[in-house]
Amino acid sequence: MQTISSIKKCKNQEKLVMITAYDALFAALFNNKVDMILVGDSLNVSHNRAIDTLSASMDMMIYHTKAVCKGAPETFVVTDIPFGAYFDEKSALKKCARVYQETNSNAVKIEGGRERAHIVKALTQNSIAVVGHIGLMPQFARSEGGFKIKGKNEDGIQKLIDDARAIEDAGAFCIVLEGVKEDAGKAISEAVDVPIIGIGAGRYTDGQVLVWSDMLGFFEDFQPKFVKRYLNGADLVRDAVKQYAKEVKEGLFPSSEFIY
C-alpha cells in the first residue's frame, strides 16, 4: 500500500494511478490495482444525478468514504471535501478532522490555489494530509460561469504554477491538476517537487486520475474529451438485465440448477 512518502518518491520515477470509487463493491475491485482511490464529490453528479458537485455534503462524503475504505483496505484512500466545508480554517479543520475520526481515509482533497493555501496550511500543520486540486475546479465552475479549460496562455500557465507552488509550500503532498492545456500540465509538473496527478491535463503529468463510472462506461450523460472508455459497462449491464427479464417472462429462469 502506498504511503505519503512513497507517493512523493514516485515523482520523476513512476507514474501514479488514481481512480475514483464511491462504494465498497467497486472499491474492492480496484483494491491493490491502483496507487490511490479518490472518493470524489463527482459522486453527486454520476450517482446522484445532480447538475454539479456543489450539493454534495460532508455526511455524504463520510458515508461513501467508509464504504470505500471497507472495500479497499489495502489502498491509499483520499476523501474529497465538499463545497462550503472549507471557507475558513476553523471549519476546514472541524470537517476534515471528522474524516480522520470517522473513517480510515488517508488524506483529504480540497480545491483551490494561492487563495486557499492558508486552509491547506492549517490542515497540514494539524497532521491532516492534503491533496490539492487546481486548474479547472468543479466546485467553482458555477461562479465562473461554466467548466472552463485553464492555462491557455503564458499568464494562465504562470498563475497555475504560482497556485501549485503556494499549496506545495503549504504542505500538500500531491496535487490534482484538472482541465488544462498539455503544455500547462508539463510546465506545472516541472515547477514543483510534489507529484501532479492530471485529469484532462495531457501526457506529461506525474500520474492520472479518472472517474470510475466514466472510464468503465457506466456514466453516459456526457463524455469529456479526456475520458478513455476501457469498458462499455452500461451496455453490458443493459444486455444482462434484458436477458434476465426475457428469461423470467419466458419461464426459463429459474431452471432446475437454481432451485433448492
Minimal distance, residue 137 CB to ligand KIV, in Å = 9
Residue 106 found at the interface with ligand KIV (CB under 6 A): no
Helix spans in 103-232 (H): 117-124, 141-144, 154-169, 182-191, 212-215
Minimal distance, residue 121 CB to ligand KIV, in Å = 21
**Residue 46 near residue 211, CB atoms below 8 Å:** yes
Helix spans in 125-255 (H): 141-144, 154-169, 182-191, 212-215, 233-249
Q: How far apart are the first and last CA of the chain?
A: 42
Considering only residues 211 through 250, tell me which ones interact with ligand KIV, judged by CB under 6 A.
211
Residue 137 found at the interface with ligand KIV (CB under 6 A): no
Residue 80 found at the interface with ligand KIV (CB under 6 A): yes
Relative to beta strand 107-111, strand 36-39 is: unpaired
Pick the catalytic residue: 178, 220, 250, 257?
A: 178
Residue with nearest beta carbon to ligand KIV? 40
Residue 107 found at the interface with ligand KIV (CB under 6 A): no
Backbone angles phi, psi at 199, to 5 degrees: -140, 110
Tell me if the bond preceding 254 is cis, omega within 30° of 0.
Answer: yes
**Residue 202 near residue 185, CB atoms below 8 Å:** yes
Minimal distance, residue 79 CB to ligand KIV, in Å = 10
Residue 36 found at the interface with ligand KIV (CB under 6 A): no
Closer to ligand KIV by Cβ: residue 132 or 171 = 132
Residue 176 found at the interface with ligand KIV (CB under 6 A): yes
Residue 208 found at the interface with ligand KIV (CB under 6 A): no
- Best CA proximity match to 113, nearest among 60, 62, 176, 63: 176
Minimal distance, residue 48 CB to ligand KIV, in Å = 12
Is residue 154 part of the annotated active site? The answer reads: no
Give the footprint of ligand KIV on this chain (CB under 6 A): 20, 38, 40-42, 80, 176, 178, 199, 209, 211
Q: Which residues are catalytic?
A: 178
